[in-house]
Every structure is written in C-alpha cells, then in structure tokens.
Structure 1
Amino acid sequence: MFKRLFWFLIGFGSGVVAVSKAEAYVRANTPDKARQFVLGPDQNNVAVRTLAGLLNDFNAVRVGREAELNDKYIH
C-alpha cells in the first residue's frame, strides 16, 4: 500500500511541476492577446477559477441528481 501511495504522490508532484512549467512557458513566450484568449483576462488566478468552476459543476450535478432521486423515491 505504501508503494502505491509513494508512486501516486510522485506522479501527482511531477504533474504539478509539469503544469506549472508549461504555464510559465506559455506566459513567457506568447503575446498578450494570445494569452488573454487562452488563459482569460485574469491571468493570475487561472487555477483558482478552474477549481471553482469544477466545484460549481459538481455541485450543480449533485443537486440535480438529488432532486431526481427525491422525485423518484419520495413523491
């Protein structure tokens, strides 16, 4: 079990490093208009906006599924 956890953490860490390096490369080597098109106008908070969007999508699906199950089994 510890081997799996170790390799998972190694993979996760290398993924974080790769994404941060790729984002730094894009910021350094693309014109401002292209960066705004790809990353949006608020280029400093891309990760926060992405996580917030994923959380909002998850909650919307969760609420919809809960309402569907309530209609099916309660009413």
Structure 2
Amino acid sequence: MFKRLFWIGVGAAAGVILVSKAEAYVRANTPKRAREFIMGEDQDRVPQRTLAGLVGEFTTAMRYREDELNRRYTDRFHG
C-alpha cells in the first residue's frame, strides 16, 4: 500500500515538474501569437483553468455515474 502511494506521489511530482518545464520552454521559445493560440490569451492562469476544467469534468462524470447507479438500484428494488 505504501509503495503504491509512494509511486503515485513520485508520478504526480514528475508530472508537475515536466508540465512546468514544458510551459517555460513554450513561453521562452515561441512568438506571442503562437503562445496565445496554444495557451489562450490569459497565459498566467493556465494551470488554474486546467485544474478548474478537470474538476468540472470529474464532477460531471461523477454525477452521471451517481444518477446511473440510482436508476439501476431504484429499478431493482421498486420494479
């Protein structure tokens, strides 16, 4: 269990480092118009927008799955 948590933590940390390095590379080596096309006009808030999008997508999927399970068990016990 602890090994799994350790490796998940290592993977998450490596992912954060790689994304930040890639973002810094893109900022340093691409023209402004290309950066705006890739990252959007608000380039300082890319991580926050990405996280907000992921949370929103997770919430939507969770609600969909919860509704599906509620329908399945409601039909099983009432039908």
* SS of match in other structure, 1:44: helix
Partner of 1:64 in structure 2? 64
The separation in 1 between residues aligned to 2:52 and 2:12, in whole angstroms, is: 20
The separation in 1 between residues aligned to 2:68 and 2:17, in whole angstroms, is: 41
The alignment's TM-score, normalised by the length of structure 1, stands at 0.78
The alignment's TM-score, normalised by the length of structure 2, stands at 0.74
Partner of 2:29 in structure 1? 29
Tell me the number of residue pairs that the alignment of Structure 1 and Structure 2 aligns: 74
Matched residues, percent identical? Answer: 55
Structure 2 counterpart of 1:41, one-letter code:
E
Q: What CA RMSD, in Å, does the superposition of the two structures yield over aligned residues?
A: 2.1
* SS of match in other structure, 1:16: helix
Q: Deviations over 1:26-61 (max 9, x none)?
A: 111111111011001110011111111111001101
